[in-house]
Amino acid sequence: MNFIWPLLLYGAAALVIVAGMVALSYVLGQRHKEKETGEPYESGVSVTGSARLRFTVQFYLVAMLFVIFDLEAVFIIAWAVSFRELGWPGYFGLLFFLAILLVVLVYEWRAGAFDFALKGKDILRKYRELEKSQEGR
């Protein structure tokens, strides 16, 4: 129990500092009640619509694929740094790793993960939805 008191003291000090900062910002902070205060402001351009955009699932899929294939670069760089120490077993390990990544890339490609272009019917459907939303205004 003798070794935990510095940790408790540090946690208490951190909480006191955070609480003090929040209290000071509440006491010293400005309060605006104007309508414009709550409005989004982007480089002097007036708001034209909602800032809530719906992204397609493909957007998130591409983001995940980017993270996965970007992370591979970290492993390849780590391999390159220790190339001399790893020798041939490390080289074959890297080739196996790259082969697995290539198989995954081909699988994703065949599964349609990279098909971003709208088909003709989808373009017409989106255009009709846009026309209906414009008429409703």
Residue 41 belongs to domain with CATH number: 1.20.58.1610
pLDDT score of 136: 64
* Per-residue pLDDT reduced to its tens digit, 10-19: 999 999 999 9
Lowest-confidence region among 41-45, 58-62, 90-94: 41-45
Number of structural domains in the chain:
1
Helix (H) or strand (E) holding 68: helix 57-81
**How confident is residue 23, by pLDDT bands cut at 50, 70 and 90?**
very high
User: What is the rounded average pLDDT of the residues 73-91?
Assistant: 90
* Per-residue pLDDT reduced to its tens digit, 104-136: 889 988 887 777 766 667 777 777 887 787 776
Contact in structure between 65 and 108 (CB atoms under 8 Å): yes
pLDDT score of 120: 67
**How confident is residue 25, by pLDDT bands cut at 50, 70 and 90?**
very high
State the residue range of the domain holding 60.
5-135
